[in-house]
Structure 1
């Protein structure tokens, strides 16, 4: 609950978000946050890890029907991935823009002496001492290589969408090569400073049919 509540606040305020703001939004006493996280630095790092988690994205891609036309499958997957990439960019961009770096003690906000022990909530706040649902998922930093594993998992999920074409023998490249190319196009086009990315439909059309008209290609 704490991480889910904090994510939109991080998107708005970056590392300048306060634990008091988080507590008010979550409806809990501020000291409850510090029963789950050692300090604000650890909370923000957990938010970064949560933003990077691709499990829900992979599940959504796996749920796409292989009976649909290839273009429709890829458009649906691209829309899902675009939302994921945008979420990552929003959270990490807001944190970096406000000076947050995981492990930097200057960004930590440890509890004041009366915060971690106070059980006096503001109206509407919970006084429960039970661990929140965030406790098992709170982690001090993303594991080494986590971003690479997430990327490879995403490419593998995309590659599965080409299985009907593999069976039909209509692919010019391997599913992994095609998935890597599509994922690469999508992530590059979402980089800050570039014009707004094309729609999922336009991106898939470019991916499948290239830069010239089909008549010219033939």
Structure 2
């Protein structure tokens, strides 16, 4: 083999391994989301192809257009399967406060990823439109799965609560959302702060000796 042919072969992009269509679609989306957070809609399909390790034409065999790919990324960003799996990985042997703080931290990370993507897409032109319930009937089921994962973390400690665990979880999730929402939060609220407010309220605790 000549030196010329070796040089040519080294320049050829290795062919992507064969994948099932759904797996290929998921892989392209996974490679595109970080680029969207960095560049918004200005990211090119050539950059996406390079990140995904595929030929640019492969993208258009999976998606009709870059806009369709962006919409698929938006839809994927709102999926909760990974979030639920991470919540279920939290050690249930930890004290209740620590379990819930870990769950809040996980939820904050998930929400921050969504809001950062929304912000970049808004700034780069067309705003990001979250899927509505009517467009995605699985969304309500996904939200229920998140609630169930939080309730499972409360577990047997539910008998320490004066409200049903589902209500406590609902309040905690609302407070978690407001703690990271770009238009709602002021300053940084730690997961421990949020859990303390939910479990103990905002009133001062009586000091030893009966002083308030």
Q: What is the match of residue 123 of structure 2?
A: 97
Give the Å deviation of 1:23: 1.5
Bigger relative contact order, structure 1 or 2 (CA pairs below 8 A, ≥6 apart): 1
Does residue 152 in structure 1 map to residue 152 in structure 2?
Answer: no
**C-alpha RMSD of the superposition:** 2.3
Superposed, 1:101-180 pairs within 5 Å as: 143-166=135-158, 169-180=159-170
SS in 1 for 2:206: helix
Structure 2 residue runs without a partner (length 5+): 1-26
Structure 1 residue runs without a partner (length 5+): 104-141
Select 1:70's aligned residue among 86, 96, 103: 96
Give the Å deviation of 1:210: 1.6
Greater Cα offset, 153-162 or 194-203: 194-203
- TM normalised by structure 2 equals 0.76
Superposed, 1:1-218 pairs within 5 Å as: 1-100=27-126, 143-166=135-158, 169-193=159-183, 194-215=185-206
Runs of 4+ in 1 over 6 A off after TM superposition: none
Alpha-carbon distance between aligned partners in 1 of 2:119 and 2:138, rounded to the nearest angstrom:
18
> Which one has the largest radius of gyration?
2
Alpha-carbon distance between aligned partners in 2 of 1:95 and 1:22, rounded to the nearest angstrom:
16
Q: Structure 1 pair 22/85, CA: closer, same or farther in 2 (3 Å)?
A: same
Q: Structure 1 pair 146/196, CA: closer, same or farther in 2 (3 Å)?
A: farther
Alpha-carbon distance between aligned partners in 2 of 1:201 and 1:186, rounded to the nearest angstrom:
11
Alpha-carbon distance between aligned partners in 2 of 1:187 and 1:145, rounded to the nearest angstrom:
22
Give the Å deviation of 1:146: 4.4
Greater Cα offset, 85-94 or 181-190: 85-94
Give the Å deviation of 1:147: 4.0
Alpha-carbon distance between aligned partners in 2 of 1:190 and 1:72, rounded to the nearest angstrom:
20
How many correspondences in the alignment? 178
Alpha-carbon distance between aligned partners in 1 of 2:81 and 2:135, rounded to the nearest angstrom:
15
- TM normalised by structure 1 equals 0.74
SS in 2 for 1:215: coil
* Matched-pair contact (CA < 8 Å) for 2:45–2:56: yes
Give the Å deviation of 1:145: 4.3
Alpha-carbon distance between aligned partners in 1 of 2:157 and 2:53, rounded to the nearest angstrom:
51
Q: Structure 1 pair 191/47, CA: closer, same or farther in 2 (3 Å)?
A: same
Any idea what the Cα deviations from partners look like across 1:86-141, whole Å, max 9, x if unmatched? 111112222233233579xxxxxxxxxxxxxxxxxxxxxxxxxxxxxxxxxxxxxx
